[in-house]
Amino acid sequence: MKLLETVEQFNNLKNNEQVIMIFTADWCPDCRVIEPELPEIEAEFSEYTFVEVNRDQFIALCQEYDIFGIPSFLAFRDGQEAGRFVSKDRKTREEIEQFIQGLSN
C-alpha cells in the first residue's frame, strides 16, 4: 500500500488511477483492527491502487472531502469520486469488500 506524502500526489493519483484512499491515523483503534485485513483486501482488488492517508497530516484534505470519521474509504476513477465509505463506525472486512464490489457498477 502506498503512503500519501503530498497533496500533489493525492491529486495525481485521483486524476490518473483507479484509487481507494484509506483515511486513518496512528492513534485510531478501529483503524488498527482492520489493518491486518488490508493486504488481503488489496490483493483481492488489485485493479485499484490503495493509498493510506494519515488524517493528522492531511487535515485539509479531510475537510475538503468531508472525512469526519476514520477509518474511511474514498474511491476515485478518472478524477471523479466513484464512491465513499465514510463514517465514524468500525468497519468489518465484509463491509469494506462490499463497498469495493459496489464500485464496479
Spatial neighbors of 20 by CB under 8 A, at least 6 apart, are 45, 48, 49, 50, 51, 73, 74, 75, 100
31 tagged catalytic: yes
Q: Which of 4, 20, 21, 28 is catalytic?
A: 28
Range 21-25 average pLDDT? 96
| pLDDT tens readout for residues 39-76 | 999 999 999 999 999 999 999 999 999 998 899 999 99
Q: Domain boundaries in the chain?
A: 2-103
Residue 105 has pLDDT above 70, yes or no: no
Range 68-90 average pLDDT? 92
Q: Which of 4, 21, 31, 86 is catalytic?
A: 31
Residue 87 confidence class, pLDDT cut points 50, 70, 90: confident
The residues that bridge with 22 in the sheet, in sequence order, are: 52, 73
Strands in 1-105 per DSSP E: 2-3, 19-24, 49-54, 72-77, 80-85
Using CA atoms, how far residue 81 sits from 20, 29, 33, 51, in Å, is 10, 27, 26, 15
Predicted TM-score of the model (pTM): 0.93
State the Cα–Cα distance between residues 104 and 2, nearest whole angstrom: 22
Q: Which CATH number fits domain 2-103: 2.40.160.40, 3.30.70.1290, 3.40.30.10, 3.30.1490.20?
A: 3.40.30.10
